[in-house]
Structure 1
């Protein structure tokens, strides 16, 4: 049955992709457009300490519309953001749930959305935010569901896109007695401190239909740096429609502003022509083609003017009033340990990143941006979490994650779909490992 299910899921794996990191700093998860009942169950806080008996309530969702006798259980794994209940009423996985008579479950990741395992998000409590704890969460959840819903005899299939895709693959290996197979879409299963290759893929994607597009963006990015060096903050504020007058007091302020603009382009590439409309995302019409059409339009001015037009177009389509480029405000927001809409969304991403690295630096020469070195990303961690979060600490943390991954040998039925313009595919499985470990590389039309 594993082989049959793999062949089913090869075709739609990319529909699970949601990006490991929501690229734009302040981007919020889209609200669900469909009311779906939420459920809760009692979860352990620390799965690796028998003496720790503390528990908390974790959120999950159910769609039993397609259940047939003997059908499998599809378990959608949540990631670094609130679990969106829209997935319980839309998405390609439901097409296959109907074909196979599957029960559909979705589990929200600890520390995200409404799944709060601790009273706050202090640095001390964040030690319970890890992929190892998340995998144990899934196993405990499945055990509870099998007992309470009588699902012990069903075949379980773990599904996820991006980081949840990595979790799905690791879950199939670590808990083979529980899960029959996994679909790991755009799953970066290799940890890396300096992921400069991310922007290399961005450059290749931008050049596919417009060979000069990344070059023009590079020129514009360098002009931004030139204006910063001349302290022309009023012009930059007006041209890029910033929320407040740009203030540059340090190299971190400067790099943050450059990174903020660059991440709008990264976001477009990572989510190019995806299927997030059903989730309520507004900016799906902004594609690589749209960005590069603007960057090649001489009537809009020089490269810098076109770059500013791109930013204004994206923010307008996002429904954003302006661009918030204050590094001081950004770090202050993330230092807030209370459970707020910000802390339960994107701030969890940056806190989670210390286990994997994945810093998208501009240190490679084969990419279209300047001014976003690895040192900037590392200093950002130190500014938010404290001086102990330096390069040595982060490297050590990532190496431990890599050791954990290396201990998980890919021997079990898993499908690894990857879109080739998605920068995360570089850290995924891109060739078949065996008959039951299938890599699917997908070209994307523009």
Structure 2
């Protein structure tokens, strides 16, 4: 892992140094796992950085970049964070490193993106972290309640609009800083990693290179197998303990049976320390969320990105299942594992499964139901989750019911490509690093092979 990161940094540093010589303006080159829960994405394991290292700014942004109707000129305030401590200044054409904001508060990602802070002194770089529209504080229509009211107000939430936001803000910022000749490199992880790669491809005149970490840009339109994500999660747990894998795999049927009777529901509520009776119906999604996100954040050191977590949380969760400190029945074993993920600090007396959105991710369900259609299924031979097959009709019905919209499953590959990516990007793409760890479930939809000399895949097997 350390060697792979070192190689990644060396390659990245090479093209940044080259890019610093070229002005950016001239560069081209039930009780069942929740379907929405498994599609949430998070950035890579960079070390935390103190919030005091940035200044908070706001940019007046257009609601709609792609039409000229009167409504398109409605403005909203987009939040961004800036760190100029190590910047060499516009006169020296020092670079600008930009983080492409994900689905949440920008501070959440900034404080867990230490790599950019680590390399800023070496390159005398200005650091900019841009919040994604409809997340955090960057709410059109003045408030989250209004912005999330219906499909008409949420309809301006899309990856294309977000990229246009980034481009508009960066161009304006460079003009105000008289830094038109400072090259821009974009960083991102998971959904932000997708945006980083797509930003380089769609706006090569704005960004000269991209580092895209844990970015499943090939998870759309069945380009990669739909069972890949859950298989990686399952293999992560299985690699720690065959018994752990089997207990989880066998648990879904038992949980379903218990939830069908009043006595069983009471046992589940008590076993999982749920705050409310109605939370029993969400236990499956709650458990699967812990398994998914533990696999996504299975870092070798303690972390506080999604939750306060120990090092190697998957290993610790399996230990809780294999060697329970409480009861030995199945619900007690699963509770012990979930408690590692959701309550490692021990501060919670009960779990409220309907709690509010602490990280500001609420718009992701809408994005999933419009453009972020990543088909997922479960192979009963390989997966520890219940057998399932992606069914577009069911997805459409659920999205129409919840948001009043129908998914467009082919839009991402139409807008950004993905099919035959190696052949296509050899023709025009350049200066992108794709970094993936094979224990990360999102690697199942990532770019794992070099495409050309400057579109490079770095893969950590462990």
Q: If the length of structure 1 is used for normalisation, what is the TM-score?
A: 0.80
Structure 2 gap ranges (5+): 1-7, 16-35, 43-47
Q: Is the 8 A contact 2:317 2:336 kept in 1?
A: no
Q: Write the distance in 1 (CA, Å) between the matches of 2:111 and 2:246.
A: 42
Q: CA deviation at 1:100?
A: 1.1
**Which of these residues, 369, 376, 384, is aligned with residue 368 of structure 1?**
384
Q: Write the distance in 2 (CA, Å) between the matches of 1:350 and 1:171.
A: 22
Q: CA deviation at 1:278?
A: 6.7
How many residue pairs get matched? 402
Which residue number corresponds to residue 27 of structure 2? Answer: none
Which residue number corresponds to residue 204 of structure 2? Answer: 176
Q: Write the distance in 1 (CA, Å) between the matches of 2:250 and 2:108.
A: 42
**Which of these residues, 318, 321, 333, is aligned with residue 306 of structure 1?**
333
Which residue number corresponds to residue 299 of structure 2? Answer: 273
Q: CA deviation at 1:128?
A: 0.4
CA distances 1:381-413 after superposition (whole Å, capped 9, x unpaired): 344224xx4xxx32xx12112211218953121
Q: CA deviation at 1:63?
A: 0.6
Q: If the length of structure 2 is used for normalisation, what is the TM-score?
A: 0.78
Cα gap change, 1:88 to 1:214, in 2 (>3 Å):
closer
Cα gap change, 1:85 to 1:147, in 2 (>3 Å):
farther
Q: Write the distance in 1 (CA, Å) between the matches of 2:265 and 2:202.
A: 52
2:344 is aligned with 1:317: yes
Q: Is the 8 A contact 2:301 2:312 kept in 1?
A: no
Q: Write the distance in 2 (CA, Å) between the matches of 1:200 and 1:271.
A: 16
2:100 is aligned with 1:77: yes
- After TM superposition, the structure 1 stretch with the greater mean CA deviation from structure 2, 302-311 or 173-182, is 302-311
Partner SS state of residue 141, structure 2: coil
Q: CA deviation at 1:377?
A: 6.0
Which residue number corresponds to residue 134 of structure 1? Answer: 162
Q: Write the distance in 2 (CA, Å) between the matches of 1:131 and 1:244.
A: 36
Q: Write the distance in 2 (CA, Å) between the matches of 1:74 and 1:149.
A: 14
Which residue number corresponds to residue 14 of structure 1? Answer: none
Q: Write the distance in 2 (CA, Å) between the matches of 1:280 and 1:197.
A: 23
Q: Write the distance in 2 (CA, Å) between the matches of 1:344 and 1:280.
A: 8
Give matches, 1:107-122, under 5 Å.
Answer: 107-119=130-142, 120=146, 121-122=148-149
Q: Write the distance in 2 (CA, Å) between the matches of 1:107 and 1:261.
A: 32
Cα gap change, 1:73 to 1:429, in 2 (>3 Å):
same
Q: Write the distance in 1 (CA, Å) between the matches of 2:284 and 2:115.
A: 37
Q: Write the distance in 2 (CA, Å) between the matches of 1:207 and 1:4.
A: 31
- After TM superposition, the structure 1 stretch with the greater mean CA deviation from structure 2, 341-350 or 109-118, is 341-350
Q: Is the 8 A contact 1:234 1:246 kept in 2?
A: no
Q: Write the distance in 1 (CA, Å) between the matches of 2:231 and 2:9.
A: 36
2:437 is aligned with 1:419: yes
The RMSD of aligned alpha carbons is 3.3
Structure 1 gap ranges (5+): 11-20, 331-340
2:417 is aligned with 1:406: yes
Partner SS state of residue 57, structure 1: strand
**Which of these residues, 50, 64, 67, is aligned with residue 68 of structure 2?**
50
